[in-house]
């Protein structure tokens, strides 16, 4: 379980005769400010990954509203293999295990040289909607944001970027924390989705649902590549996929995402949604 997930508990006291034992409080999770997407809410992929740590195996997380920052949210188990995340009486997200779901189809991979050549070439970076995003924010410095800047790969229907995770996203044992991998798989799909669908500059997209399967956690300091590709469009919904490749091109993790188009927020207003 991630160190960023905070649980609350209280000592168990034997109940008095004839009285019911007190109910244990629900566990909570909190997204630190570092892991923001829009300025006022969590990076969607990071939040999904944090929630997914409550369950086993591949997980689908549906975001119902923007996950807040620095605010404890309640984790509510719902039967076997499912949880709901609430802020007071408001539903923030739902998650379910999908152990027997189909594996994402990865249309291709790239070499480290191809990923480096594509880096930063996406049109998105000419005027980014979320410049402070933990994953793709151009305003974030090394050691603070992940600085994953995908671009189209010449001759392929893929977007790609290099990524070398540093010690600040490690688990203390040499591996990258799972929720960080979810985050790395998130934003590249959004960029591939909007550019594949030729979405205009007056529109942005917000993550609605993400399914990820983490086969192997990357190692801190390894040169990895993230690849993403558009899958389709249905009205306001855009779907896309992504994969994290290790130093030798092996697939470490893969994801599929569903994004919702929304009007691009005017600077100084509050965006409604997660990144």
pLDDT digits (tens, 9 = 90+) for 18-60: 444 444 556 999 999 999 999 999 999 999 999 999 999 899 9
pLDDT > 70? residue 210: yes
Say what the pLDDT of residue 254 is. 96
SS3 string, 122-168, reads: CHHHHCCCCCCCCCCCCCCCECCECCCCCEECCCCCCEEEEECCCHH
pLDDT digits (tens, 9 = 90+) for 241-268: 999 999 999 999 999 999 999 998 644 3
Whole-prediction pTM: 0.87
| 72 φ, ψ (degrees, to nearest 5) | -60, 130
**Cβ–Cβ contacts within 10 Å for residue 119, how many?**
19
Q: Max CA-CA distance within the chain?
A: 75
Contact 203, 195 (CB under 8 A): no
**Cβ–Cβ contacts within 10 Å for residue 251, how many?**
17
pLDDT > 90? residue 134: yes
Contact 226, 163 (CB under 8 A): yes
Question: What's the mean pLDDT when you consider all of the chain?
Answer: 88
Q: Residue 264: helix, strand or coil by DSSP?
A: coil
38/44 Cα distance (integer angstroms): 9
269/154 Cα distance (integer angstroms): 37
pLDDT > 50? residue 148: yes
Strands 224-234 and 237-245: antiparallel
Q: Which residues contact 141 (CB under 8 A, 6 or more apart)?
A: none
pLDDT digits (tens, 9 = 90+) for 75-102: 999 988 999 999 999 999 999 999 776 6
Which H helix or E strand runs over 46? helix 44-52
């Amino acid at each position: 379980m991630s160190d960023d997930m905070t649980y609350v508990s209280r000592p168990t006291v034997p109940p008095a005769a004839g009285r019911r034992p007190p109910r244990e409080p629900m566990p909570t999770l909190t997204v630190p400010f570092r892991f923001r997407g829009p300025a006022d809410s969590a990076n969607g992929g990071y939040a999904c990954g944090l929630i997914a740590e409550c369950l086993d195996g591949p997980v689908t997380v549906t975001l119902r509203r923007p996950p807040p920052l620095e605010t404890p949210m309640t984790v509510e188990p719902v039967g076997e293999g499912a949880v709901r995340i609430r802020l007071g009486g408001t539903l923030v997200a739902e998650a379910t295990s999908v152990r027997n779901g189909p594996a994402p189809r990865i249309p291709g991979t790239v070499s480290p040289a191809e990923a480096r050549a594509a880096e930063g070439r996406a049109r998105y970076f000419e005027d980014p909607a979320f410049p402070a995003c933990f994953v793709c924010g151009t305003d974030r410095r090394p050691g603070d944001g992940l600085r994953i800047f995908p671009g189209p790969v010449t001759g392929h229907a893929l977007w790609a970027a290099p990524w070398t995770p540093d010690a600040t996203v490690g688990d203390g044992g040499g591996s990258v924390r799972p929720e960080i991998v979810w985050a790395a798989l998130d934003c590249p799909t959004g960029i591939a989705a909007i550019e594949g669908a030729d979405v205009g500059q007056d529109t942005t997209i917000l993550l609605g649902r993400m399914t990820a399967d983490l086969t192997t956690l990357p190692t801190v300091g390894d040169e990895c590549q993230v690849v993403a590709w558009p899958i389709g469009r249905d009205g306001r919904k855009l779907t896309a996929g992504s994969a994290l490749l290790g130093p030798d091109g092996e697939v470490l993790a893969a994801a599929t995402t569903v994004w919702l188009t929304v009007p691009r927020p005017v600077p100084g207003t509050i965006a409604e949604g997660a990144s």
